[in-house]
Amino acid sequence: MSQKSDRIDDIWGNRTPYIDSWPERLDERTLGAPDRWVQSACVLCSNGCGCDVAVKDGRIVGIRGRTVDRVNRGRLGPKGLYGWEANNSADRLRSPLIRGPNGEFAACDWDEAMTLIVERTRECVRRHTSGAIGFYTSGQLFLEEYYTLGVIGKAGLGTPHMDGNTRLCTATAAQALKETFGTDGQPGSYTDLDSTEAILHVGHNIAETQTVLWARILDRRRGPRPPRLIVIDPRSTFTAKEADIHLAPRLGTNVPVLNGLLHLIIESGQIDREYIEQHTTGFEVLEQTVKSWTPERVEQISNVPAAKLRAAAEILGATSTLVSTVLQGVYQSMQATAAAIQVNNLNLIRGLIGKPGCGVLQMNGQPTAQNTRECGADGGLPGFRNWSNPAHVAELARLWNVDPAVIPHWAPPTHAMQIFRYAEEGSIKILWISGTNPAVSLPELTRVRRILDKKDLFVIVQDAFMTETARHADIVLPVAMWGEKTGCFTNVDRTVHISHQAVPPPGGARSDLDIFLDYARRMDFRDKDGQPLIKWNDAEGAFEAWKECSRGRPCDYSGMNYAKLSAGSGIQWPCTDQFPNGAAHLYTDGIFNTSASYCEDFGHNLKTGAARTPEQYRANDPRGKAFLHAADYEPPHEVPDADFPLWLTTGRVVFHFHTRTKTGRVAALRNAAGDVFVQLSSIDSSKLGIATGDLVSIESRRGRVVAQASVGDIEAGHVFMPFHYGSWDTSGNDPPRAANELTLTEWDPVSKQPHFKYAAVRIAKQDKLPLAETPADTGMKVRDQGKEIKHRLATVDSGIQVRTYLGLLNDTERELAEAFTTVAQHHRPEPDIHQMCSMLASWSRRHSTAIQLALSRFGKTEENSADRVRATIFQGPHSGALGLLHDLHDLYLLVTGAQLCWTVLLQAAHALRDKDLEAVAQQSGGETDGQLAWLETRIKQAAPQALTVRK
């Protein structure tokens, strides 16, 4: 079947219902008869559809799907069918640009541009060390480019500061997989959708984000054996309207809803106990944690009706096969990693993993996000190696023939938000941005622009267009786009595609790979034998080098080559002698990648993000069992109030990709979704006197935008804005329209993914609000995390000396709460410090409350030294990077004192056989351990930058 639909009005095309397999359907769109077709794959969402590029007279003139490809069977979505037109845009960058003394850009040749970059690099390393250089890359480059960049950064320069904009969309996917299964990598496959009995979409509007994958689901739903569909989303999206059951939770309450589903399934006995016992660890804690999340309690917290929750649980508990998918509604919201892990837990306790029709797809938001993670361009080590495992570092050093000490592994890899913070406070001096547009995509854009404009920051931008970010650069390098270079990339279900060069890039534009190779040659990076560190000169050479790096690791590409990838369909990894055609499923034997010698990560505390030490992990080596990590509810840190009464969430629309750098230059896509809008409920619109089409102002504590209103299909109290829209195609006098003017600088403590999915805002008709400058207040109102702990304490002899330590501990916790609060307020520009120290202060206040109840029985001695201890130990607050390290150090010492007190009291409780005091000491002492673990993790991160980078 061939379809030449415009895909604007008919987004998913005609239905081709399943009978025994997914039928082929050829989607094609050309602007004239091509001279030839060139094999490729689409890079305008994370689905990874195989396609062919039409070429005529040296220009791209069309596209068609590849009917032999396992991912799409010939289908393409709207962005795929139209997006290629951006390659032919008249405003493509064709030569390097250097900013002159007057602030204007001037064209130059490549030698001048690269000479300047190399000179600045060498001077920076000489004066400040390589710790003053940061790289921020994309989710749209090719595997070969990421791997080359990873080797340059880790073995050439030795900088720990490397991440991608995949931090904004896929970091939680990777972390959830690592925390549960030991390493990154999706357990299942797209083909599971062909046979599964049930599908669960959590925070995943698949109808708009992966249109061809949604077409696959629609075709199953129109066939003879339709799967049941459950959707969890606060908006009534295309996806939700198709669902059998739609759960619409209040923002930030994913964990309560998922805990409620787990509770009902466990309570009903619809779990695979044999699988749980043989292949998982942690079930007892999970069962105990979710026990209190009854449907009624879930409804109270999340607004999801108890009856609907029960109906969803009945489907999930009864199905014999299940595919669960997760995306930004989880990843960019409160407790991101914790919530994503609960989805893993759901499949695991039912034993529905590692076999046909069963799997979890922790989805990606960008086409090559998987390669960013695999190749080490996101800060991790290539091949899913563990940066805190010396054997993995040594293995990589042997592969690259470098000293292991060169490879950054002395602290956690620096995530994107921290890279920009280091640039803000001045310890990063060079920031190299490739293929991404943070001046639109990062949160709190006023702050981002201020950072990019810092006089002591040298900004390099690689892009095909003069983006909002490129306008702030010191040097701009023009790059080849998709279709103008050769390389491979990997989609969500581990399918690797090759994209061959179809046409040359315009003017002097170069591929990202050629730019990185040129930089490496000019920097003269060498291995231990004096040979060039980068030993390849083209894309195929880079792929062959990557194959050796991946050999023996979960993402094993060793059985692939360019010829094999060019023979028809994409191929899934692992592709080895054992799986020459790729493997559809991981963990078919129930053995996971959690062994201490093999795992990619030793895990974290889901509440604080504190890293588990190698020693702790090895002491309880799961030896191939999956983790069932439990999590209880933590409210969002910014909530609506009288001034800002509505919840804002952001997301995507079907016709645009990322910041519209490409899709915004395609007339059909631009006409279909030309401008930003704000969606609000009919209840809220009625209260505010707003109708669809009205121009409204949306304000948060960080900024203000103007957009047209769209009424309906969202829960009351919530508003939605797409994040795609920046300013490159507006006049300088237009009001701001980027959703990220409003979002807050805060991130998940484990994955470090920003919280784009909630912020407090207010809305009014435009004529009711004067134009105003962006509010300067960038602070967050932090809600106390805890509820008072109440214990029944019987009367006891007040003369025993437990009271001595109760008194000391009471004052210690009070002093700790004050010290944490002081650090939180003083270091407000460090969002994670403000967020976490505020939360840890609330823990200490909660501990003090618990102690009061014990003091009422035991009495309190008047002799106390806690205030003197704090005055002696805590000398802060201090300013700057070194000051932050000092303050964290002091807090660590103070918390150590509290930890010892709780240890002493727990032993006394055992001796007294006092169960109530024992419960207080165990719970509060455990949280004190969590405070200490977070402080140690954050100190390890802060120390290298504060102590080694010369200012």
pLDDT one-digit tens code per residue, 334-356? 999 999 999 999 999 999 999 99
Residue with tokens 């010939």: 74
Q: Given pLDDT bands bounded at 50, 70 and 90, which one contains residue 871?
A: low
**Cβ(740)–Cβ(440) under 8 Å?**
yes
Q: What pLDDT band is residue 951 in, cutting at 50, 70 and 90?
A: confident
* Helical H segments across 327-381, by residue range: 328-331, 336-349, 369-374
Backbone angles phi, psi at 230, to 5 degrees: -120, 135
For the chain, how are helix, strand and coil distributed in percent, rounded to 5?
A: 40, 15, 45
Q: Does the bond joining 390 to the residue before it have cis omega, within 30 degrees of 0?
A: no
pLDDT in tens, 442-491: 999 999 999 999 999 999 999 999 999 999 999 999 999 999 999 999 99
pLDDT band at 870 (very low <50, low <70, confident <90, very high): low
The pLDDT value recorded for residue 865 is 55
Of residues 847 and 781, more confidently modeled: 847
pLDDT at residue 586, rounded to an integer: 98
Q: Which two tokens stand for residue 48?
A: 């990874």
Select from 34, 29, 109 the least CA-distant residue to 64.
Answer: 29
CA distance 710 to 59: 39
Give the 3-state secondary structure of 838-899.
Answer: HHHHHHHHHHHHHHHHHHHHHCCCCCCCHHHHHHHHCCCCCCHHHHHHHHHHHHHHHHHHHH
Q: Which pLDDT score is estimated for 410?
A: 86
**pTM to 2 decimals?**
0.91
Mean residue pLDDT of the chain comes to: 92
Q: 609 with 750: CB under 8 angstroms? A: yes
pLDDT at residue number 7: 79
CB 378 within 8 A of CB 752: no
The pLDDT tens digits of the residues spanning 553-569 come to 999 999 999 999 999 99
Query: In 104-180, where do the E strands start and end?
Result: 105-107, 133-137, 162-164
Query: Which distant-in-sequence residues (6+ apart) come within 8 Å of 9 by Cβ?
Result: none
pLDDT at 776 over 60: no
Q: Is residue 322 scored above 50 in pLDDT?
A: yes
> Cβ-count burial of 438 within 10 angstroms (0-12 exposed, 13-18 middle, 19+ buried)?
buried
Question: CB burial class (10 A; 0-12, 13-18, 19+) of residue 927?
Answer: buried
10 Å CB burial of residue 917 (0-12, 13-18, 19+) is: buried
pLDDT, one tens digit per residue, over 149-175 is 999 999 999 999 999 999 999 999 999
pLDDT at 399 over 70: yes
User: CB–CB of 427/881 below 8 Å?
Assistant: yes
Residue 863 has pLDDT above 70, yes or no: no
- The residue-averaged pLDDT of 24-45 equals 95
Helix (H/G/I), strand (E/B), else coil: 553? coil
- Measure Cα distances from 53 to 31, 70, 253, 659 in Å: 12, 18, 44, 24
pLDDT average, residue stretch 313-322: 98
Least confident piece of the model among 140-149, 299-308, 553-562, 860-869: 860-869
pLDDT at 853: 77
What per-residue confidence (pLDDT) applies to 789? Answer: 27
Pairing type for strands 571-572 and 495-499 reads: antiparallel
User: Distance (Å, rounded) from C-alpha 948 to C-alpha 845?
Assistant: 36
Number of Cβ within a 10 Å radius of residue 110:
16
pLDDT digits (tens, 9 = 90+) for 274-297: 999 999 999 999 999 999 999 999
Note the pLDDT tens digit of each residue in 812-833: 888 899 999 999 999 998 989 9
Tell whether the model's pLDDT for residue 862 goes beyond 60.
no
pLDDT band at 861 (very low <50, low <70, confident <90, very high): low
pLDDT (tens digit per residue) in 106-121: 999 999 999 999 999 9
Range with the poorest average pLDDT among 18-22, 631-635, 664-668, 770-774 = 770-774
Strand pairing partners for 918?
none
* pLDDT one-digit tens code per residue, 200-225: 999 999 999 999 999 999 999 999 99
Phi, psi of 696 (to 5 degrees): -130, 160
pLDDT in the model for residue 112: 98
Cα-Cα-Cα-Cα dihedral sign, residues 419, 424, 428, 433: positive
Radius of gyration of the chain measured on its C-alpha atoms = 28
405-409, 492-496, 598-602: segment of lowest average pLDDT: 405-409
The answer, yes or no, to whether residue 240 has pLDDT greater than 80, is yes
Q: pLDDT exceeding 70 applies to what percent of the chain?
A: 94
pLDDT in tens, 494-516: 999 999 999 999 999 999 999 99
The answer to whether the beta carbons of residues 572 and 189 sit under 8 Å apart is: yes
Assign residue 203 a region (left: φ > 0; alpha: ψ between -120 and 50; beta: otherwise). Answer: left
Q: What is the DSSP string of 234-290?
A: SB--HHHHH-SEEE-PPTT-HHHHHHHHHHHHHHTT-S-HHHHHHHEE-HHHHHHHH
Q: In the structure, what pLDDT confidence band is assigned to residue 768 with cuts at 50, 70 and 90?
A: very low
Tell me if 337 sits within 8 A of 747, measured CB to CB: no
- Round to whole Å and give the CA distance between 114 and 600: 36
